[in-house]
Amino acid sequence: MEVGALIISIALAMIGVFMLVAVRKQEFKKNGGTKAFFLIAGIALLAYGLVGGLAHADVYTLPESVGGFFLTTAVDGGANGGNGDIVCPDGTTLQNGVCVAVSGGGATYQPTATYSARDKYSTTSISGTSYYKVGSNSATTTARSNTNVGESITYWVDNSSYWIKPVVKNAGAGVTSFEALGWANSSATVTLYDLVNRQSTTDGAYNTSMGANDQANIEITYQGTSEGSAGPFGGKMVIEMNSSISSVSCTGDDLLTSDPYHLTYTASATTHTYKSWVYGPSLDDGTGAVRRITCQFKNGATAVGAGSPYYVKFIPANYYVTDSGDIVLDTEKFANGDTTRTGSTINQPMATGYWGA
């Protein structure tokens, strides 16, 4: 039903009725020409108003010759007609003379999206395998350059020389720019320090005594590279040690209580065991700042033995594309049933210490 056109038709019919009533009351006795004009005009307006009103009330369809008249076009206020000239595409509606997207429906006109990746600390561009994930669809290597307003798009670049964080945005009108920032894959230095004896214990510089039922307090110092990182997304810290050590506890501002990561680890010797902790992005955030973690080792009833080593390793998490097409963060490709590490194995921060007699 075209409400605007129906109202105009009713108004015309009423004017026709008023004109006929005037003729009936003989208000044009002295002017036969005026009386005839009002009689003809009244009949015409009444007839046209009734016919148009019934048509716009959906009682029947006007013939094409009549339907093309101003009543069916000029007053059309529909979303896909409007103004008699502007016809908006499906999924949009006319607002203030402009076609805009219907909420929840998406626009059929397509704004563009541009994608790029660069070093976080410079203008160096980063290439690699680019992935684009639109909404809940699987990530593909085909760019979604023509987008619909409101679409959620995830953009990520896989490059072994850089750690790149995915960019997630909702596409808007015009050009939506996606710029992924990356940290250069850099080294980090890990050192060990005996807090009680005030000695550096890295690489056997000093062997901390660990007899039966004994304990030792070791400070782990981590220093990354300025404007680079060996793991900006966090990961798992692993301490591998002699199995005679009954427990080890570690504390530090950069250690997390929740564990979203997965790790498959094999000790280097059958006489060794290991324990892991989760560290956050703050440990190696690209500033090169020094971070410290304090650990206390407690030995069991058997001495570890002079020269027995222990290892402190930082295994970084990184993003990867799962078999189901998601872009996720983990230390290994757990979602694929794969134990392959996601982070770099080239710059894996670690340190070795030794126990004394």
Is residue 105 included in any domain, yes or no? no
Query: Does residue 265 sit in the same domain as residue 352?
Result: yes
Tokens 């995830």, located at residue: 154
Q: Are residues 172 and 200 in the same domain?
A: no
Residue 103 in any domain: the answer is: no
152 inside domain = yes
Domain presence at residue 89: no
- Please report the pLDDT score of residue 68 as a whole number: 41
Which of 163, 184, 205 is the C-terminal boundary of a domain?
184
pLDDT digits (tens, 9 = 90+) for 40-51: 665 665 566 565
Low-confidence residues in the chain, pLDDT < 50: 62, 64-83, 104-107
Is 118 domain-assigned? yes
- Based on the fold, state whether residues 155 and 251 are members of the same structural domain: no
**pLDDT at residue 344, rounded to an integer:** 85
- Asked whether 9 and 52 are in contact (CB, 8 A), the reply is yes
Structural domains of the chain, count: 3
Kindly report, residue by residue over 262-272, the tens digit of the pLDDT. 999 999 999 99
Domain match, 197 and 345 both: yes
Q: Is the CB of residue 356 less than 8 Å from the CB of residue 194?
A: no
Angle at CA 259, nearest 5°, toward 256 and 265? 110
Domain boundary among 18, 49, 75: 75
Residues 239, 271 within the same domain: yes
116 and 53 part of one domain: no
| pLDDT value of position 347 | 81
A 10 A CB-CB count for 26 gives 8
pTM of the model: 0.70
Based on the fold, state whether residues 221 and 311 are members of the same structural domain. Answer: yes
Do 157 and 205 lie in one domain? The reply is no
Structure tokens at 339: 């134990």
pLDDT in the model for residue 346: 79
Buried b (16+ CB within 10 A) or exposed e, 291-303: bebebebebeeeb
pLDDT in tens, 94-117: 666 666 655 544 445 578 999 999
| Same-domain check for residues 67 and 134 | no
User: What is the signed CA dihedral for 10, 11, 13, 17, rounded to 10 degrees?
Assistant: 130
Query: Which structural domain range is residue 320 located in?
Result: 189-356
DSSP per-residue letters across 310-355:
EEEEEEE-EEEE-TTS-EEEESB-GGGT---BSS-SSS--EEEEEE
Average of per-residue pLDDT values in the chain: 83
